[in-house]
Every structure is written in C-alpha cells, then in structure tokens.
Chains A and B, each alone.
Chain A
Amino acid sequence: MSEAPSELKYSKSHEWVRLNDDGTVTVGITDHAQELLGDLVYVEVPEPGSELDAEQACAVVESVKAASDVYAPLAGTVLAVNESLADSPEAVNRDAYGDGWIMQLKPADSDAVNDLMDAGEYQKFIETE
C-alpha cells in the first residue's frame, strides 16, 4: 500500500501538492507514482519563472525503462525547482514527499488547491484506477 500523507492534496495525474504558510505550493510525484515508475535515473525540471497552466506537462521523470511527464496540478508561476535532482534523481524513490520534491509554484488562483483530492479521495482513486 502506497503512502499518502493526510496534510497534502493530490491530482489525478499523481502529483502531490503541499500548501505552504506563505501561500505558495510545493509539488512532487506521489509514492504510488514513483512505485509504478521504478528506479528513477533522470529528472527534468521546469525553468524557474515559467508560467504553467493547470494540467500542463512541465517536468519529466525518467526511470530505467521509460520517460513520463509530470503535470502542473494547478496554474501558477515556477518560483523554485529542486536542482539536487539532477545529481540524485533517486531521491524521488527514496523520499517522494520530502527530498524528492520537484518544484515550488505561486498559484495563479489561491483557491485552486481546494479543487484537488485529499488523501482519502486519492487512495480511493488509485484503487479504482
């Protein structure tokens, strides 16, 4: 059973979203997603400053076998990216909700995060998917 912390929000494309105190959000891929992908060997992060639409492909995670897109769970501006993934992509496998974060966004709409699934809804979603 994959882990899905209750304080986070989730997208149907298996990204997690943490709402920070300053109104920004941190985004990564879920434990379930990293498990499906297997050992990651390369992560391509977006350019800081870029404007993302909701559900826009904005990063790429590559396992030994295949490349998969990461989608913006909500619209916003990229404030920061996890540069350390360039040298240690395996952090996503090891610690998907911590060291394996991918980017920090300033949401275009501060309410958008409420449209995402909570942990319980996400767990149900991956059982039925």
Chain B
Amino acid sequence: MGNKTPLYQAHQAMGAKLVDFAGWDMPIHYGSQIEEHHAVRRAAGMFDVSHMTVVDLHGDNTRRFLRFLLANDVDKLKKTGKALYSCMLNDSGKVLDDLIVYYFSENHFRLVVNSATREKDLDWIVRQAGPFEVQVSERPELAMIAVQGPQARDKVLGLLDDAQRTVAAGLGLFYGAALGDWFIARTGYTGEDGFEIMLPGDTAADLWNALQAAGVQPCGLGCRDTLRLEAGMNLYGSDMDETVSPLVSGLGWTVAWEPQARDFIGRAALEQERAAGPAQKLVGLLLQDKGVLRNHQRVLVQGVGDGEITSGSFSPTLGRSIALARVPAAAGDRCQVEIRGRLLEAKVVKPPFVRNGKAQIELD
C-alpha cells in the first residue's frame, strides 16, 4: 500500500481507478481519461496534486540563497505572491528537478517540487541552505488541488465569500495570495487558466466535494499528462533529468544569464555548454501517419543523426499523435520515428501544441 492523500476516500467514492505514482496511490482516471481531458479544455476539471512536495524556506538570507540554488533568478520576484518556474541544477549544470518558487516575504519563500524527487531534493536543499542559515521545512500537512479550464476560475470564485472573491479574482497570471489558511495561485500544468490551491489536508475533501457539486470534473493523472504534453510543458524524469542540461531540454528560457555576476549552482558548466553550442534540442513532433508516438522511440533525422522521443502520446484535442523529442541541434522540420520496426513520417514543430483550448500548430 502506498501513501494516501487526504482525498483518497473521495477518489474512491467518485469511482477513481487508483494506481501507484511515485509511492502514492493516485487516481489515473475516473472512467475516461479522454473525457476528463476534454472537460479541462472545454469547461473545468480538478486534480488532486497533494502528493507534490511543498517546502517552506525561512530566514533573512532566503532570497540570496535562492539566487544561488536556482538557475532562474528570484530577483524577478518583487511582489508578494508572485511565482517563478525554475530548474534546480547540480554542479555539472544538469537538472536535479524543476519547481515553482513563490515569494511571500523577504524571509519566507515557498517551493513546490516533484514528489518522485522528494528525498533527493530535500537533501540537496538542506545541504545548500546550511551556509545561508536558511531553515528548510516540509509542509506535508498541506493538500493541493488544481482547478483548471476556461470555467475553472469562476467555479472556484463561486465558492468564496465576498472578501476572498475580490482577492482571488484580482490575481494576475502566476500570482498567488493567502486566503485564511489557504494559498491560492493562478498557476497550473495544463495550458488552461485556473487556480492551484494549497490548503490544510483535513479540509481538502470539503473543497473537493464542493467543486464537484459545482460541476467541476474530477480528473486523474492520466489526462494531466496529455494536457501538459499538449501545452508543451516538460515532465521531470521523462523530458529532463540529471543526465541533461536545461539547454537541451527546451528550458534555456528559464535560465537567467543576467546579471553575469550572479553565481548559481551549475552556472560554469552551463556557460561552457552554451559557448560550445548545445549538441541537441528538445522539439515537438506531430505524427503524419496513423499510430501513437511513445517515450523512447527512436527519431531519425536524415543526414543529421538520431534522437529519441522523451514524451509521446495521443493528443485528444488535436486527434493526432504528438511528442516531445530530443534531436540533434541541426535537425530541420522533418524526421522519421521508428515504431515496431517501421519508419513513420513526423513533422518537427515548436511547442506548445495547444493553449487555452486552441491548436497552436498547423495540422497538415
């Protein structure tokens, strides 16, 4: 038996098919992964993401510490509640994890990191935090619910009192705010608008049930994966890990090179790689033939060399198979993918594939 989130019983009551995910018993779907996917693109869906690891950082040097720990620069965070996406690198400039950092105050920032990398991340963060005298405390008592889709914000706002509603409705993209013992942020992992809400675990089921009563579709981690893939968002462990840098993972945009004086972990290695020119790049693929692209399938770029699919699936929104793939830097706009011994044609495209319910690429 795995770890259970505070919503475990609610999932069972709503007919979830539960599977092991990084040691947690999590819903993969509640009947149909594709219908749940469409609910998020067209209306509103909710995900239990309480398995994710929430880490609070306290201390006067927290900003200085995070400017050293993370490849993105938390000096971009000036206003309370603002969030930033970043990679956390090792000394070789390879990706230990990707995470979201929230700025609460000069002596309080919050990280949300992946559950599959929890122990490794906590060890690393605690070790690096020592010299900065920053306190690292995990918040396992917090549950997290992501409500996503074009109607998601309205559904959540409908459950709030007037004062809370004013605050939540006023949140800009990638901003969050405290509402009593909740923290609500306009963030997500689907390519749709919505909120992610962190709240005490013992009240999470009440919110979950109220959202369902308001017409929000419970969604499993199955469609969370197809939604994030359509949105062109990386998944740690599939699209990047400790063997690759952000520069070959489509995450160069998250590395803050300026100011040059800022020393961050992995910077020296990353600058060398940048100067030499990264050997590979992460691209989107659209399969031209029928079939389904899958992780680890071989990608052939004629006259250039081989690559590999890092995340492949069927896109319910496009009705076609799509993938993220790591290919040689010189690859052009065509390639082939080997599926069960056959070579199928694929077009190289620039992710995202879908944003806010609409295709972002040409399907021909």
Q: Which residues of chain A have a CB within 8 Å of any CB of chain B?
A: 38-39, 41-42, 44, 60, 62, 64-67, 86
A38 contacts B291, C-beta separation under 8 Å: no
Give the shortest distance, in Å, between A77 (CB) and chain B (any CB): 22
Is B313 a contact of A42 with CB atoms below 8 Å? Answer: no
CB contacts (< 8 Å) of A41 on chain B: these are 34, 292, 314, 321
Q: Are B33 and A42 in contact (CB under 8 A)?
A: no
B340 interface residue, CB < 8 Å from A?
yes
Cα A86 to Cα B313 with chains together (Å) = 17
* Nearest Cβ on chain A to B5's Cβ, whole angstroms: 21
**Contact yes or no, A38 B32, CB < 8 A:** yes
* B313 to chain A: closest residue by CB: A64
Which residue from A38, A42, A86 sits with its C-beta under 8 Å from B292?
A: A42
Interface pair A38/B33, CB less than 8 Å apart: yes
B33 touches which one: A39, A67, A86 (CB < 8 A)? A39
A-B contact count (CB 8 A): 37
The contact of A64 among B290, B291, B314, B340, by CB within 8 Å, is B314
B222 touches A38 (CB 8 A): yes
Known: A38-B222, A41-B314, A42-B314. A64 touches B33 (CB 8 A): yes
Is B226 part of the binding interface, using a Cβ–Cβ cutoff of 8 Å?
yes
Partner of A60, one of B32, B226, B321, B340: B340
How many B residues are at the interface, by size bracket? 10 to 19
B294 interfacial contact with A, CB 8 Å: yes
A44 to B289, CA, bound (A): 12
User: Does residue B150 face the partner (Cβ distance < 8 Å to A)?
Assistant: no
Chain A positions within 8 Å of B278 at CB level: none
Q: CB within 8 Å of A: which residues of B?
A: 28-29, 32-34, 222, 226, 290-292, 294, 313-314, 316, 321, 340
Among the listed A44, A65, A67, which residue makes an inter-chain contact with B222, where contact means beta carbons less than 8 Å apart?
A65
Among the listed B29, B290, B316, B321, which residue makes an inter-chain contact with A38, where contact means beta carbons less than 8 Å apart? B29
Tell me, rounded to whole Å, the shortest Cβ–Cβ distance linking B319 to chain A: 9
Question: Is the beta-carbon distance between B294 and A64 smaller than 8 angstroms?
Answer: no
CA distance A100 to B314 in the complex (A): 20
A117 to B255, CA, bound (A): 60
- B29 and A62 form a contact (CB under 8 A): no
Cβ–Cβ < 8 Å partners of B340 in chain A: 44, 60
Q: Which of chain A's residues have a CB closer than 8 A to the CB of B321?
A: 41-42
Closest 5 CB pairs of A and B: A41-B314, A39-B34, A62-B292, A42-B292, A64-B33
Q: Measured between alpha carbons, how far is A59 from B117 in the docked complex, in Å? A: 37
Chain B, residue nearest A90 (CB) = B34
- Which residues from chain A contact B33 at a C-beta distance below 8 Å? 38-39, 64-65
Q: How far is the CA of A62 from the CA of B314 in the complex (A)?
A: 9
Q: Which residues of A contact B29 (CB under 8 A)?
A: 38
Complex Cα gap A86–B316 (Å): 16
